[in-house]
Structure formats: C-alpha cells, structure tokens
C-alpha cells in the first residue's frame, strides 16, 4: 500500500515543483525613492520589467533567464516616444508615465524606456555586441 501511494504521489510532487521553475529574468531591487505622487502599481512595475526583458531577449537572441535587472526607476516621459525618439519618428508631446529600466547580459548593459502599458523601447547600450 505504501509503495502505491509513493508511485502516485511522486509524479504529482515532481510536476508541482517543475511548474514553479519557469525561467524568469532577475528583476532589479525595488527603488528606495518612491515618488509620493506615484500612480504606478506593483503590477505595472512588473509588467514593464517583463516587457523590457522580453524585448531584449528577442533583440539579442539571449535566454530570458540570462537577463539581470540592474535598476528600474519610475519616471514621466514628455512624449509618446518615451524620451527616446529615433530619426524620422513622429512623437506626440504628451505626458507618459513609465520606467527607465537598465538590464545586463554578460558584459553589456541596456537601457529601456517603458510606459505603464508594457511598451518597451531600447534607448541605449553599453558594451557587448551591437
């Protein structure tokens, strides 16, 4: 009887443990200087971070779990281009709350600007391959 319970229980326990092992990027520590007029929620912070990490993973073909969050600061962009316009890009002059997120992969750092809706845009890169 004990052997039968062990056979049934083991696959369930193993599946439960493996389900919790999904690969996720390592987020940065929470900012110690939260704005008193902050409109962002923890969910928006997480959504913005994941969007930036996912975009970086696509752009450099790196596994998401190799991406480390260096910093994430709440900010307000003065335009729809998230303060990071490209040549020829049209940007509306509209206040856009979001985050400045710095990510690291190996010896390279990447600065992303996001809005609260999960749109992420690479603005600069230091080190590594371009």
Q: What is the pLDDT of residues 43-88, one digit of tens each?
A: 899 999 999 999 999 999 999 999 999 999 999 999 999 999 988 9
d(CA 115, CA 123): 13
Query: Is 6 part of a structural domain of the chain?
Result: no
Query: Domain for residue 118, yes or no?
Result: yes
- List the helix and strand counts (H, then E) for the chain: 2, 4
Proportion of the chain above pLDDT 70, given as a percent: 71
Q: Which domain holds residue 30?
A: 24-126
- Averaged over 13-23, what is the pLDDT? 46
CB 99, CB 73: distance < 8 Å: yes
Residue 13 counted as domain residue: no
d(CA 101, CA 25): 13
The per-residue pLDDT for 48 is: 95
41 falls within a domain: yes
Q: Whole-prediction pTM value?
A: 0.72
Q: Report the chain's mean pLDDT, rounded to a whole number.
A: 81
Residue recorded with tokens 């316009």: 85
Number of domains making up the chain: 1
């Amino acid at each position: 009887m004990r052997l039968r319970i062990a056979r049934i229980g083991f696959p369930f326990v193993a599946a439960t443990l493996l389900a919790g092992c999904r690969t996720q990027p390592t987020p940065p520590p929470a900012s110690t200087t939260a704005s008193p007029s902050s409109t962002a929620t923890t969910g928006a912070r997480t959504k913005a971070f994941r969007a930036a990490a996912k975009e970086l993973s696509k752009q450099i073909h790196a596994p998401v779990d190799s991406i480390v969050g260096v910093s994430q600061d709440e900010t307000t962009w003065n335009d729809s281009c998230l303060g990071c316009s490209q040549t020829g890009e049209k940007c509306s002059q509209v206040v856009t709350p979001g985050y400045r997120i710095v990510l690291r992969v190996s010896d390279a750092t990447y600065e992303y600007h996001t809005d609260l809706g999960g749109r992420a845009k690479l603005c600069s890169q230091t080190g590594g391959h371009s």
